[in-house]
Structure 1
Amino acid sequence: MSESKRSAMRVADSDRENVARLLCEAMGAGRITAAELETRLDAVYAARTFAEFEPVVADLSPGGPLTSSHTGDEEQGGRRSFAVMSATTRRFAGPLPSNHVSRAFWGSVRLDLRQARIAAGSCTIRAVAVMGGVKIVVPEDFALDVRGIGLMGGFGTGRRTRRQRPTTGAPVLRVTGFAWWGSVKVIRRPVEPRRRTLRGRG
């Protein structure tokens, strides 16, 4: 494939995550600062073609051209949540966007989806945790497809969440992304949390 054709190709989520891992590794090695990492990640997740990756990694990727794992079209947009050396909690009510990006850098993001619903049959959340954590709280009737990567970190579901299986045809929440020295965790909780009754003594 010629260089011009490759540069014009559309990128997939997996391509963005490969570049994001390269940037995180560069920051861990001291080649870029935390502020540069955040700025470059914004550009990576906004990119539509491989040509838009080039200026982001030109000084970090001398080993060869970036390659594609997908040539199809891809929907952009959706809301975002992020925390940089801080804590952020977002509670969703009503229909979820088809795509959402959540990033935590030396901080934590908590997404509470118990009052939300998936109107289009599925929703994808890309979660990135760098020396921080992203926790996604989902209702018991969501089907889960969690396929992230943990690099010296954890990415997955809680033990109780893995045991629960929603009914066939349930709306699907897909969680992708990666954790680098951090964690991304998806847990189930009842829509109405149980209240503990305090009994008096004596």
Structure 2
Amino acid sequence: MSERIAVLVSGSGTNLQALMDDPFIRPHLALVLSDRPGVRALDRAEAVGIPTVVLEPGSFPDRESFDQAILDLFLDRDIDALVSAGYLRVLGKRVLDVYEGRWLNVHPALLPAFPGMHGVRDALAYGVHVTGVTVHLVDEGVDSGPIVLQGTVEVRPDDDWDSLEPRIHELEHRLLPQAVRAMIEGRLRLDGRRVRIVEEGA
């Protein structure tokens, strides 16, 4: 069972808030890491007593030393699993090697369509009628890991980014806690690229 979770953030932290609001998940949140100082997510964590750390890539001579500092932090804090919740950095293999299969990311599109930082905007620009949210395991690619959960959101004819994004966020706030709960309980089963969420005790 994964018990101590670090949540990685870069912005306002609404997905972090959804995790903190879940009474089962909240005691497992051991650390919030940001690559940016002063973001709202840090305030949210500090308000409920979750330790926070800011590690900025620009403070390190290269990506390898940045990744190593993050890994050292996680190991020092006895972190069992990771959740990227709006974290806008791709960490390297040295972190993945330790947390593979225990690292979730939430993405605002139906992967494998529209990976990257602008999933909502790109879906709108393409003209899709349905988009959604994906929670997936992190691998070495960008938004390319095995899919844990997906949900759909209708794109209305008059939608723009301002009207669609809140509905995407609402779905993120439902799906991410479901996936994190299953990870904590040890209920994720990986078979090739297919992830199953099994019942407790299975």
* TM superposition score normalised by structure 2: 0.27
The higher relative CO (CA closer than 8 Å, separation ≥ 6) is in 2
Higher helix share: 2
Give 1 or 2 for the bigger CA radius of gyration. Answer: 1
Higher strand share: 1
* TM superposition score normalised by structure 1: 0.27
